[in-house]
Structure 1
């Protein structure tokens, strides 16, 4: 082996070893270096027996360098490889991958496409969380398009339009434009007419079962070859409402022998007898199917990137036939898997939640037991916490699980500093107390002593939780008040120091005055809990977030004559 070849082998080995060590934050290994190096440099292969002896000392020398020295050396040898490592490190900090082919577009334009058949369940929050974040990352543009062209099967809920916009605002985003697809029906008709003229669609009066049998056999229906003039006339009759539901459809002409039967001559328009609930759209009877309507709108609004569920992969393939007829460029696609959410007994289903509300099993969409965006908002969980947890899931095509504990952890970071502390005793037991100070003065917030102390009158008796009742002749420390000994009938104040907690392990428990405490109902994901809170709870107003010590964070909802109502956020 001549010196020139040896030098090139050493240089390639050093570069590969530096890259391998920095990328994986570990020592480079001969086996990991040899294979790629020999593959990329075929001229080395005749010297395969000698090369390990040349490479081994190079790798040993690289492994002896500090990280800073490795970086400096790789920057000198192959700066582009160092940039690649740094780019990967940066992307690791951002769970959302880069959008594909962004440089091909003047502006990133994305869309939310909610069906307003009900307010959003929690899984629905993933779409605005991700798309809104992408909009911010790329300084892009975001459309909210209500896909409300199904007046029957997924009948729009008139309240849902506003409730969905409220949910988007709660999550921290604002669409650049808001449209209702049901306002755009005439546009869809015009595109259908153009498609007919292109030979890309035909009217069909086959019964559904008959057409399915032909389609599955890869055979055309008898209407497939009718002339354009007839198709056009029959489509205009559809537009004029001259057919009843199921009597006539407009089909996109695709490949009747396509290997995927779902793509064979799919329905673009059908007749619906049920009037649309929006008065502006109630006159229409000929409605576009979602694949046609959505495909047209994505083109008209110049959408560049679509994020949708992996179960909608066939939608893109259907729409591609229309795009090909018109010579349109299809947007970039990201398909993600389904999301599963723990902690709830109620399914992530709009129809299921509606049924439970109708049956009286849930109080409404903001019932704490409901897995909905409205419920999280009423529980005092910030939209930012939901977004942060959602984007951590990324955009994988695999199904993903969202642990509510991750939402709670994000929210805790946001609210802990501002949440004043209070005592709340659930269904407590009342115990007389003697010898104690008249007033307890626990800190408003243990980490912010400058916010002062709250004053709690003690009275002649206190309430504690049943599980905290000590054994007879045992001491406990009433938080913010001091030490007491339980006689079996009463608490007797002992006036000992805090060292009995630190050195002797005396339990610290929370309490409320039996006389001046406030009845409070805490609404939780597992049902309501009742008890009494310290009197200062009445000074907080609706939407204030507090922490009930040893229980968790809660949002003050309202003060009724009989009780205060709070919604439990999380521990």
Structure 2
């Protein structure tokens, strides 16, 4: 590559490195620069083997700039691209659509209705994020109702009630009301009796298979024409626990010839032999099905707008029959598609995660490999970052994909300014140091000189990552220390100034002392990583989020005698 071409590559690489760094408010990445650079300059392609080395030097120089310096330099080199980038940032600020007919209600009241079978996974965050945001937009109310009326198939986990409320708090919201459906069984009984008296329900002892055949043939159940008195008597026997599981149900009388068989005379109550895990509800045996319980509660708690999955459209139609019997007005309904989250190998399923924990495949709900809110919280991800990403998905009826990179980008914006910088070296190689100062003094934060510098000892030797080790007689720049040349197992200080870095001849690398260091275990979604950090890292407090330069942000989790444990957040 001749000098003229090299200069062109460096100019183009600097622009794209700055665009990459400013767009994502982080260090630029060689791989992210390579694609647009080669696409914009096809005449560079014959030199594809040499280009990454040139880009690497440029990226190192760009990453050495502060956030403000990167933006200022981009304004000099490519003002139009910077303006487009800023315009894109503004257009990406998502606003939720207006709630339908909200002006017709004195107060907007919405509810999240979790099944308390375990802490929440990432996908669960969408509901409270959207409802909580609507509450703020309309100065409304946010109700949390635990739909825990299935003690057998979706058996509640006693620890999950508080765990879910803790997850909601983490996301930044406080419910106005918290209800447990299992506390309200007597209320459901009363409305069932009213429905029976209104001629809207009947007891049925058909087997599931027998009724299914009748339903699919649009034929009435032989019990459908029971008088209200008989139905009430048999329902009271259900309440008293006189039937076994599967022996008797209470059905809502709908349209036996309805074009949708799923809506024909659906079950409102069934018998369950398994006691509820809550002591307050363990005596009940006749339990309401979700559509009956939820429909009654939505009316009694004044819910005005319901957000639910597109796959639950039949629920609104079933509940409408009950509302018609009682003369109630059904809430406004917003149906949305499922959210699918990338990055995780573990399925977004509470039962699947629980199985992996029980089998020892995961350490717990906050294992960094688990796709849970508790895991993200332990990794140092702010709840606000998750909410902003979820709200950005809107309320489309189509299935939507959420990239974890969106959450990471939001979080980076929240934590970058306050996160001090330190060095962590993984799988390092040790070198003696000759001729230079006794220590390096990199800044605690490149944008905050007032925070001062760190002291990283070098006199006893240094350790650098294996991939950063220069070839014999080659130079590298130890960040905060200076330029050194490799001579065997020794780094000899050369006295070069920063111009060596700016010319692209010398790579900037991080490092740590060979002896006076801090052993660290970094827990990541890909497994644990061991390394050593600089001594000033001991100043970072537990629960503090810091950045290991060139590696990423981490949350300090635990200080031990032998090592410090941190949880990796993101780059």
- Are residues 98 and 91 of structure 1, via their aligned partners in 2, closer, same or farther at CA, if it must alter by over 3 Å? farther
- Are residues 99 and 275 of structure 1, via their aligned partners in 2, closer, same or farther at CA, if it must alter by over 3 Å? same
The answer as to 2:250 corresponding to 1:250 is yes
Structure 1 equivalent of residue 173 of structure 2:
173
SS of corresponding position for 1:413 = helix
SS of corresponding position for 2:236 = helix
Structure 2 equivalent of residue 416 of structure 1:
416
Structure 2 equivalent of residue 277 of structure 1:
277
CA distance, structure 1, for counterparts of residue 184 and residue 550 of structure 2: 55
Structure 1 equivalent of residue 215 of structure 2:
215
- Please state how far the C-alpha of 1:473 moved relative to its aligned partner: 0.5
The answer as to 2:260 corresponding to 1:260 is yes
Give the unaligned 5+ runs of structure 1. 1-89
The 5 A counterparts of 1:373-522 are: 373-522=373-522
- Please state how far the C-alpha of 1:129 moved relative to its aligned partner: 0.3
Structure 2 equivalent of residue 113 of structure 1:
113
Cα contact 1:304–1:332 (8 A) shared by 2: yes
- Please state how far the C-alpha of 1:95 moved relative to its aligned partner: 2.7
- Please state how far the C-alpha of 1:92 moved relative to its aligned partner: 8.5
Cα contact 1:123–1:339 (8 A) shared by 2: yes
- Please state how far the C-alpha of 1:436 moved relative to its aligned partner: 2.3
- Greater Rg by CA: 1
Structure 2 equivalent of residue 229 of structure 1:
229
TM-score in terms of structure 1 length? 0.83
- Please state how far the C-alpha of 1:432 moved relative to its aligned partner: 1.7
Structure 2 equivalent of residue 96 of structure 1:
96
The 5 A counterparts of 1:185-200 are: 185-200=185-200
The answer as to 2:516 corresponding to 1:530 is no
Structure 2 equivalent of residue 557 of structure 1:
557
CA distance, structure 2, for counterparts of residue 232 and residue 199 of structure 1: 11
- Please state how far the C-alpha of 1:427 moved relative to its aligned partner: 1.6
- Are residues 91 and 313 of structure 1, via their aligned partners in 2, closer, same or farther at CA, if it must alter by over 3 Å? farther
CA distance, structure 2, for counterparts of residue 380 and residue 444 of structure 1: 19
CA distance, structure 2, for counterparts of residue 559 and residue 428 of structure 1: 22
SS of corresponding position for 1:319 = helix
- Please state how far the C-alpha of 1:460 moved relative to its aligned partner: 2.0
Greater alpha carbon shift after TM alignment, 287-296 vs 451-460: 451-460
- Please state how far the C-alpha of 1:429 moved relative to its aligned partner: 1.4
Greater alpha carbon shift after TM alignment, 92-101 vs 339-348: 92-101
CA distance, structure 2, for counterparts of residue 286 and residue 459 of structure 1: 76
Structure 2 equivalent of residue 30 of structure 1:
none
The 5 A counterparts of 1:344-359 are: 344-359=344-359
SS of corresponding position for 1:401 = strand
**How many residues are paired up?**
482
Cα contact 2:268–2:291 (8 A) shared by 1: yes
Cα contact 2:437–2:459 (8 A) shared by 1: no
- Are residues 91 and 213 of structure 1, via their aligned partners in 2, closer, same or farther at CA, if it must alter by over 3 Å? farther
Structure 1 equivalent of residue 154 of structure 2:
154
- Are residues 93 and 565 of structure 1, via their aligned partners in 2, closer, same or farther at CA, if it must alter by over 3 Å? closer
Structure 2 equivalent of residue 288 of structure 1:
288
- Are residues 313 and 247 of structure 1, via their aligned partners in 2, closer, same or farther at CA, if it must alter by over 3 Å? same
- Are residues 550 and 313 of structure 1, via their aligned partners in 2, closer, same or farther at CA, if it must alter by over 3 Å? same
Structure 1 equivalent of residue 372 of structure 2:
372
CA distance, structure 2, for counterparts of residue 266 and residue 251 of structure 1: 5
Greater alpha carbon shift after TM alignment, 532-541 vs 92-101: 92-101
- Please state how far the C-alpha of 1:450 moved relative to its aligned partner: 1.1
Cα contact 1:91–1:97 (8 A) shared by 2: no
- Are residues 92 and 145 of structure 1, via their aligned partners in 2, closer, same or farther at CA, if it must alter by over 3 Å? same
CA distance, structure 2, for counterparts of residue 509 and residue 274 of structure 1: 62
TM-score in terms of structure 2 length? 0.83
CA distance, structure 2, for counterparts of residue 449 and residue 270 of structure 1: 68
The 5 A counterparts of 1:131-142 are: 131-142=131-142
Q: Deviations over 1:144-193 (max 9, x none)?
A: 10011010111001111001001101101000011100000000000000
Structure 2 equivalent of residue 83 of structure 1:
none
SS of corresponding position for 1:96 = coil
The 5 A counterparts of 1:13-162 are: 94-162=94-162
Cα contact 1:541–1:558 (8 A) shared by 2: no
- Are residues 92 and 558 of structure 1, via their aligned partners in 2, closer, same or farther at CA, if it must alter by over 3 Å? closer
CA distance, structure 2, for counterparts of residue 487 and residue 503 of structure 1: 22
CA distance, structure 2, for counterparts of residue 357 and residue 537 of structure 1: 32
Cα contact 1:341–1:403 (8 A) shared by 2: yes
CA distance, structure 2, for counterparts of residue 256 and residue 210 of structure 1: 15
CA distance, structure 2, for counterparts of residue 196 and residue 434 of structure 1: 92
- Please state how far the C-alpha of 1:505 moved relative to its aligned partner: 2.7
SS of corresponding position for 1:115 = coil
CA distance, structure 1, for counterparts of residue 245 and residue 541 of structure 2: 53
- Please state how far the C-alpha of 1:259 moved relative to its aligned partner: 0.6
CA distance, structure 2, for counterparts of residue 321 and residue 288 of structure 1: 16
Cα contact 1:471–1:488 (8 A) shared by 2: no
Q: Deviations over 1:525-562 (max 9, x none)?
A: 11111111111222222210100000000100011121
SS of corresponding position for 1:414 = helix
Cα RMSD (Å): 1.1
Cα contact 2:422–2:546 (8 A) shared by 1: yes
CA distance, structure 2, for counterparts of residue 187 and residue 499 of structure 1: 78
CA distance, structure 1, for counterparts of residue 362 and residue 459 of structure 2: 40
Cα contact 1:444–1:452 (8 A) shared by 2: yes
Structure 2 equivalent of residue 60 of structure 1:
none
Cα contact 1:459–1:515 (8 A) shared by 2: no
Q: Deviations over 1:417-474 (max 9, x none)?
A: 0000000011211122222211211000001111110112223211111111111100
CA distance, structure 2, for counterparts of residue 206 and residue 229 of structure 1: 19
CA distance, structure 1, for counterparts of residue 540 and residue 92 of structure 2: 42
Question: Which ranges of 4 or more aligned residues in structure 1 deviate by more than 4 Å?
Answer: 90-94
- Please state how far the C-alpha of 1:288 moved relative to its aligned partner: 0.3
